[in-house]
Structures are given as structure tokens and as C-alpha cells.
Structure 1
Amino acid sequence: MEQADSRTISGVEGRIAQLEGSITNLMATIDTRLTALEKAQRIQKTTKKKKPLWVPALPFSLLSVDYSDNDLTPYSAIQGDLRHLSSGETLHKWTLISNRRPSVTGTA
């Protein structure tokens, strides 16, 4: 009878060792998959950053907009050269559309 009990106990111990090995392998697989998912999530977060809008730099500086006689007069500077702009005038591919109140508008 003791021999039957010892076979059963050794069988259970063997099965426990087998299950422990399986659990260790499963934990390693889970860790690997979790690491891959975390890495993919970090990559996804960095690629979704919004890029700032690009605004073209003016090739000249707008120094002031003077108001007299119900007319707005923009003054610009190109490499130190002061210049008055009138409606419809083009400066470095930029055209002054209107210099009437309430604002000065232009287009490239």
C-alpha cells in the first residue's frame, strides 16, 4: 500500500513540476507580448503629434500702418530701404489688396 501511495505522490509531484514549468513559460510569453504592446503604443503616441502650421516668412518687414485722411498707409522696409505701399502695389510677390479701414489686407 505504501508503494501505491508513493507512486501517487511522485506522480503528483511530477505533475506539479510540469505545471510550474508551463506557468513559467506562459509568464515569459506574456511579458514578451506586453513589452511589444507597450513599445507599439509608445511609437503610436509619438507619431500622432500635431505639426505646427507653416507660415511663410515675409521677405520684408512691415514697420507701421499710418492712418490719415480716412486712409491707411502701410510702410515697409526691405534691407534697410523704407517704402510706402499703395493699394494694388506688389512687393516681392505680395500684393496689397486694400488699405481701407478697418484693416490692411494682402495676399501672396
Structure 2
Amino acid sequence: MSIPKEGPSAGITSATVLLSAATSRKIKSDLAMTGELTIHGEVLPVGGITEKANAAYENGIKTIIVPKKNEKDVENLSEEIRNKIRFVFVEQVDQVFKEAFVGSPMIT
């Protein structure tokens, strides 16, 4: 099954999926993520945080990995969403990997 993706906000998701495929590590099933990724592993801010958080909430997602530079966007979300979803703010892709995989943390 193909999952449509567009734009740079799928950067950290694509990197996580590739690492999962290469290492056979499972990604947590109740997790969503968004963020642009540079070739140096830096996670950059993206747009649409409100829409993405609302969609995650409606689909039972418990944790969202978000660029640290989008922290203000998360602060502007409804209190209900902020109380129901755990937001993990990241600046580097290794932080994404440590949060995303089932079991012990990734060695990076």
C-alpha cells in the first residue's frame, strides 16, 4: 500500500521509515511525526501544526513528534488536544529515532 506524501514536512517520517526498513525495528503505532529534515540531521519547522494535531487527535494518536521551533504553534492548540496528546519537541533526527522506535533506544 502506498501512502501519499508531499512537501518537506514528511522528512523525519521518511527517514524513520527508511531506518526501520533497514534495521527491522518497529515504529510505535500510536505515534505521529512531522518535520523537515536537513542533510545534516537538523529538524526544521513546518506548517499546518493545528490541522495535523487535530487529525492525530481524531485518530487516537497519543504522541506527536514536532520540531522544537514549532513549540509556539502547539501552545496555541486547544487545551483539550494539549492534554490528550504528548508532544515531543526535537531539534535533531537522532532525537526522533530515540522516541519513535519500540523497545530500547536506537544507538545513533
- Which structure is larger by alpha-carbon Rg, 1 or 2? 1
- Bigger strand share: 1
TM-score by length of 2: 0.24
